[in-house]
Chain A
Amino acid sequence: MATAAFSTSAGYRDLRRMVLGQEMVLFIAIVLLFVVVGLINPRFVAERNISSIFLGNAYIAVAAIGMSMVIISGNIDISVGSLIGVLATIAGTLALNGVPIIICWLAPLVIGIAITSGMGAIVAYLHIPSIVVTLGMLSILKGGLISVTGGAWLTNLPPEFFLSQTRLFGIPTPIYFMVGLTIAAAFWMRLSATGRAIYAVGGNVEAARLSGIDPAATVVKAFAIHGFFVGIAAVLFATQLSVIQSTVPPNLELTIITASVVGGVSILGGTGTVIGSTLAAVLIAAIASSMIFVNISPFWMRAVQGILILVTVLADLWRRQRQRMGT
């Protein structure tokens, strides 16, 4: 896996991988979904609905970018849903107390980075598995949030706080964040030394160490950058409605991890791209929305999500098996 990430040769292989890769499959799936459901019910492809699909789920895509990096490094973060809730509440509380809006938007980023770096350091230097550390953190954040806020909603926020409700050239701001951050992260993962190191550590720790990479520091960096994206996701989430609830959508962490995995990030570490995870986030949101338009009860949504993960994982394993036989 690590060798695949390091192979710089053969533009042909890159092209082939792009055409046959997860990104293309997801892209075609999204287009097909819009065409088919659009034919059944034209209101599905109305600008209003498409815009609301992107708007309501951009924060999931942004969080999935960070999650993808953590998973590529061979770890996982199941506290991410609670962390988004905590950071959103912090942003809102600051805004209510008259703190300058720009600081309300930046504070979640800083605190997010601090918390995830802390978790990363425990994982990397104290050798405690990420699933245990983030499981503990999930309890701490979730319980902490509800006991501090008492379940109360934040209302009467200053109007200039609502970043997600603004538009630029008629397009909602969160979409710029989603697209811009995905492209930036994709380049960073491919071209920067740290980005390559994250792939290397996830693929084969020993090989990475022997090639002069510090695995522990790399894992901490992956978590820190994840915190940055979670911070942005929290701001997008906090500013999209006129109130901030002290709870996040149930199983938010599952949806974010699903986006990463369906996007082609191998849970074993070492492979995957952030473009895939963003496309997957869009696909999942589009499927959820389409079910309403073709009169399927939304209660089936989670079953569809589960089947989607299963199918993707099976396809991924099948493809790898074929590749192994091919070479």
Chain B
Amino acid sequence: MSVEARATRAPFAYHHELLLLIVLVLVVGFLAVGTDKFLTVDNMLNQGRLMTEVALVALPMTFIIITGGIDLSVGSIMGLAAIMLGVAWKNFGLPLELAIVFSVAVGAVAGFFNGLLIIRVRVPPLIMTLATLALYRGLAEGISQARSVRGYPEWFFVLGQGEVFGVPTQLWILLVAIIIFWIVLAKTTFGRSLYAIGYNEEAARFSGIPVDRIKLIIYSLSGTMAGLAGYIFVSRVSTTRSDMGTGLELDAIAAVVLGGTSIFGGVGTIAGTVIGFTLIQLLKNGLALSGVKGDATIVVIGTVLILSILVSNFLQRRRGAGG
């Protein structure tokens, strides 16, 4: 099936991002008419704050899915990093600054371990990260014994709850991350290599691309970003709990796939992913404000995900048939 999808695909002829952008504008317009609390500066900035953790994880996830891989363990890595932050500070007695660095490093090591077994033992990414989804969450639960850590000093909350130039602090970090990931994917050899690996891994290997090293880097990167997202999460909600980030991987993957990145690999852009997570967050929020009960919004997101893939597949195939 993947072979067929690949043959009929015209990667650059059809602009999924443009279609999505139109959908995004329509959704925003529709929701803004529904309630006047939606399209306000305050609400938009607040939504940006809420989506940052998923967004930070969705960026490296785009890289990984472009290579034909997947990382299901990011939510668990985020939980583990958050727990290690609290433990390093309260139990090991590290200064909080060092504890933060330590927790992000834990994320990096967790991602590195995923990558290492994927390249060395050739464990399929889906199954490797499914195993570590359980393992890392289990470590978080085991180490914390379901106890939460609170009582962080005031400066710790600047990142999660503070503002810089009137914009939530973490949105600046997200903005920088988006720019870096966009440049790396679109403008560098490294980025081109990701597409090559996803399109045909054997061919990429034979053309001298260091496939294994690149994979190790992107899985480590994914873990690092999940660790960073964990720190931001703790800073935003003021407490550390072992269930943090549960289900985050699904939100991130949904954003990436909605953004037009092919789950078969070889196709995808950062712009698409950015529109993907923005669309999901605004849909959630707008529907909630319009009086739709919280959980029904998940239904809409699931439907949008499936429909967008259906429509884009349909349009691509027509393109393929016509050209």
Inter-chain contact A306/B123, CB cutoff 8 Å: no
A267: CB under 8 A from chain B?
yes
A300: CB under 8 A from chain B?
yes
* Minimum Cβ distance to chain B for residue A59 (Å): 20
Q: B302 touches which one: A136, A150, A309 (CB < 8 A)?
A: A136
A250 and B141 alpha carbons, distance in the complex (Å): 14
* Minimum Cβ distance to chain B for residue A317 (Å): 6
Interface string of A120-157 (1 = CB under 8 A from B): 00100011110111011111111111110010000000
* Minimum Cβ distance to chain B for residue A36 (Å): 21
Question: Which B234-278 residues sit within 8 Å CB-CB of chain A?
Answer: 242, 246, 250, 253-254, 257, 263-264
Question: Which of B151-159, B166-174, B224-232, B292-300 has 4 or more CB atoms under 8 Å from chain A?
Answer: B292-300
A145 and B294 alpha carbons, distance in the complex (Å): 12
Contacts of B309 in A (CB 8 A): 128, 132, 136
* Minimum Cβ distance to chain A for residue B321 (Å): 14
With A136-B302, A257-B130, A300-B141 in contact, is A131–B263 under 8 Å at CB?
A: yes
Inter-chain contact A147/B263, CB cutoff 8 Å: no
A89 and B134 alpha carbons, distance in the complex (Å): 27
Contacts of B214 in A (CB 8 A): none
Contacts of A267 in B (CB 8 A): 124, 126-127
Inter-chain contact B302/A137, CB cutoff 8 Å: yes
Instruction: Show 23 A/B contacts (Cβ-Cβ < 8 Å), sorted by A.
Output: A76-B126, A126-B310, A129-B263, A131-B70, A131-B126, A132-B257, A136-B302, A136-B309, A139-B299, A140-B303, A143-B296, A144-B295, A251-B134, A258-B130, A301-B138, A302-B138, A303-B137, A303-B139, A303-B142, A306-B134, A314-B121, A314-B123, A317-B122
Q: B138 touches which one: A122, A141, A306 (CB < 8 A)?
A: A306
Contacts of A303 in B (CB 8 A): 134-135, 137-139, 141-142
Residue of A at shortest CB range from B122? Answer: A317
Inter-chain contact A139/B145, CB cutoff 8 Å: no
Inter-chain contact B303/A136, CB cutoff 8 Å: yes
Inter-chain contact A300/B4, CB cutoff 8 Å: no
Inter-chain contact B263/A302, CB cutoff 8 Å: no
B305: CB under 8 A from chain A?
yes
* Minimum Cβ distance to chain A for residue B272 (Å): 15
With A143-B302, A147-B299 in contact, is A254–B133 under 8 Å at CB?
A: yes
Residue of B at shortest CB range from A142? Answer: B298
* Minimum Cβ distance to chain B for residue A268 (Å): 6
A304 and B297 alpha carbons, distance in the complex (Å): 34
A307: CB under 8 A from chain B?
yes
Interface string of A260-290 (1 = CB under 8 A from B): 0100000110000000000000000000000
* Minimum Cβ distance to chain B for residue A97 (Å): 23
Inter-chain contact B123/A313, CB cutoff 8 Å: yes
A205 and B139 alpha carbons, distance in the complex (Å): 39
* Minimum Cβ distance to chain B for residue A151 (Å): 8
Contacts of B306 in A (CB 8 A): 122, 128, 132-133, 136-137
**Which 7 residue pairs of A and B lie closest in terms of their CB atoms, listed nearest first?**
A306-B135, A303-B138, A139-B302, A143-B298, A302-B138, A306-B134, A146-B295
Inter-chain contact A143/B4, CB cutoff 8 Å: no
Interface string of A195-216 (1 = CB under 8 A from B): 0000000000100000000010
Residue of A at shortest CB range from B147? Answer: A299
A127 and B7 alpha carbons, distance in the complex (Å): 12
Given contacts A268-B124, A305-B138, A310-B128, 19 further A-B contacts (CB under 8 A): A127-B5, A128-B310, A128-B313, A131-B70, A132-B305, A132-B306, A135-B302, A137-B302, A140-B299, A143-B297, A143-B300, A147-B294, A150-B293, A250-B246, A267-B127, A297-B142, A306-B137, A306-B138, A310-B132
Interface string of B37-67 (1 = CB under 8 A from A): 0000000000000000000000000000000
A303 and B122 alpha carbons, distance in the complex (Å): 22
B101: CB under 8 A from chain A?
no
Contacts of B135 in A (CB 8 A): 302-303, 305-307, 309-310
B131: CB under 8 A from chain A?
yes
Q: A302 touches which one: B4, B130, B137 (CB < 8 A)?
A: B137
* Minimum Cβ distance to chain A for residue B16 (Å): 14
B136: CB under 8 A from chain A?
yes
Q: B131 touches which one: A250, A299, A306 (CB < 8 A)?
A: A306
Inter-chain contact A299/B141, CB cutoff 8 Å: yes
* Minimum Cβ distance to chain B for residue A26 (Å): 17
B26: CB under 8 A from chain A?
no
Q: A147 touches which one: B122, B137, B296, B302 (CB < 8 A)?
A: B296
Residue of A at shortest CB range from B293? Answer: A147
B22: CB under 8 A from chain A?
no
Inter-chain contact B295/A136, CB cutoff 8 Å: no
Contacts of B263 in A (CB 8 A): 129, 131-132
Question: Which B7-44 residues sit within 8 Å CB-CB of chain A?
Answer: none
Question: Which B160-219 residues sit within 8 Å CB-CB of chain A?
Answer: none
Interface string of B289-323 (1 = CB under 8 A from A): 00001111111111101100110010000000000
Contacts of B131 in A (CB 8 A): 306, 309-310, 313
